[in-house]
Amino acid sequence: MAALTVEDCYFHDNAAPSNGGGGMIAYGFGYQPTPHCIVRRSLFANNSGSGSGGLLLYGDLTSYVDNSVFVSNSSGGGLQSANASGAIRAFTSAPGRFWITNCTFSGNTNTRGTAGAVSASPPSDGNSIFANSIVIGSGSNPVSFPTIAFVLSDQTIAGTSNVVGTPTFENSGSPLGTDGIFGTRDDGFMLTLTSPGVNNASTAYAPSTDVTNAIRPLGAGPDRGAYEADADTDGDGILDRFETGTGIYVSPTDTGTSPTQSDTDGDGLTDGQEVNTYASNPNIKDSDGDGFEDGFEVFTGFNPTSSSSTPEALSAMLTAVEFRFNAANGVSYRIESSPDLSAWTTVENNITGTGTTIVRLYSIEGVNRKFYRARRN
């Protein structure tokens, strides 16, 4: 039997007042090891139901749910409320298998029943897994599942490699992001690079891509939740997706810089310092056109974005040694230096004599001892 496959869908503001799942219900019998139902890359938001606020999996189903987001779904009341959960309820009285991996749950609630976010009745085959997911804002008992692993939550959850912490999303108040489209890289439930859910999920449970179809993992390991956090390949403090490589700075989310060079314009400041700290142009060495590179202005205490904030002329008198030798006309010479009269290094080569004295000045700043000699080539 072919699986019911639900992909790239958005279920929101639905209600099932009696025995259902507010967003979706999958109902079937006849156990099989291959999936009956697959739900992936979907968003369930603001749904309510007596059996489950978001998704109800009912019967001896084999079901897979991954790379999906469940936000502000609620359950409670009705005939199913004793076994309900806020986001997903997986219910079976016969052999069944439920795999829920790399999903993000936020603000799901359950006024009665077993769990605030996700629950399942123990299937007899013992292979049901809830893993690599993030669960926050779903009460003191957010998950009730046979096997729970690699979950990041604001509550302590029994299981394997589960972590208590704050996920630090990009903007959890805007699940669809600035473009208003779910499943894109500006979605609010993207993890920041400093999140405790980054690079530490299990590869055994992780899908090969995330909810945006980005390759998983993008970093050293897969991330928990539906989204792989963006990489910062050059470590400059700007995410790769914002370093567009056009050479033209537009905004902090379209910097025009290279994602593989930490200092694109070579002025001594990283691209992240220019964009996030000094508001200078990361593609131009001298942002204000005053004749001084941005890095030099910052290091000398001036503003790299103001042409009226300009370093004064800086003069210094340093000690040097004057080295002279007589050079025959047309003969090629080299000058060598040594700290100990034993190991010699060429300082200058291919000096053509003119029948006069050759003069050179060499700085001895920071040098305790150095000897010079001239040799014919």
The helix or strand, by DSSP H or E, that contains position 298, with its residue range, turns out to be helix 294-299
Show which of 206, 231, 256 is a domain's final residue. Answer: 231
User: Is residue 259 scored above 80 in pLDDT?
Assistant: yes
User: Torsion angle, CA of 47/111/60/22, rounded to 10 degrees?
Assistant: -10
Residue 114 CA from chain centroid, whole number: 34
If asked whether residues 342 and 261 sit together in one domain, one would say: no
pLDDT tens, residue by residue, 124-176: 456 789 999 999 999 888 998 889 999 999 999 999 999 999 999 999 999 99
Last residue of a domain, one of 315, 331, 358: 315
* Tally of domains in the chain: 3
Residues 32 and 158 in one domain: yes
Residues 115 and 254 in one domain: no
pLDDT per position as a tens digit, 323-368: 999 999 999 999 999 999 999 999 999 999 999 999 999 988 888 8
My answer on whether 283 and 212 are in the same domain is no
Question: Taking the C-alpha atoms of 48, 87, 178 and 163 in order, what is their torsion angle to the nearest 10 degrees?
Answer: 150
Domain boundary among 268, 286, 315: 315
Read off the pLDDT of residues 70-95 as tens digits, 9 standing for 90 and up.
999 988 644 444 456 788 888 776 56
Amino acid at 66: D
pLDDT of 32 reads 55
Would you state the structure tokens that stand for residue 234, as one six-digit string?
């050059």
Q: Which residues contact 313 (CB under 8 A, 6 or more apart)?
A: none
What's the burial of 201, exposed, middle or buried (CB within 10 Å: 0-12/13-18/19+)? buried
Are residues 334 and 311 part of one domain? Answer: no
Residues 6+ apart with CB under 8 A from 213: 41, 183
210, 67 contact by CB (below 8 A) = yes
Same domain membership, residue 283 and residue 356 = no
Residue for token pair 């001239």: 374
Average pLDDT over residues 4-18: 89
Domain limits at 359? 320-376
Q: Are residues 178 and 279 in the same domain?
A: no
For the chain, the first-to-last Cα distance in angstroms comes to 86
Are residues 257 and 183 part of one domain?
A: no
Q: Are residues 219 and 238 in the same domain?
A: no
252 and 352 belong to one structural domain = no
pLDDT tens-place string over residues 229-253: 988 888 898 988 889 999 999 999 8
Contact, 271 vs 240, CB < 8 A?
Answer: no
Kindly compute the dihedral angle of the four CA atoms of residues 60, 66, 72, 77, in this order, to the nearest 10 degrees.
Answer: 0
Mapped onto helix, strand or coil, the DSSP state of residue 94 is coil
3-state secondary structure of 39: strand
Task: Give the pLDDT confidence of 272-325 residue by residue, as tens digits.
Answer: 999 999 999 999 999 999 999 999 999 999 999 999 998 876 677 888 899 999
132 and 142 share a domain? yes
Within 10 A of 194 (CB to CB), how many other CB atoms are there?
8
The answer to whether residues 88 and 191 belong to one domain is yes
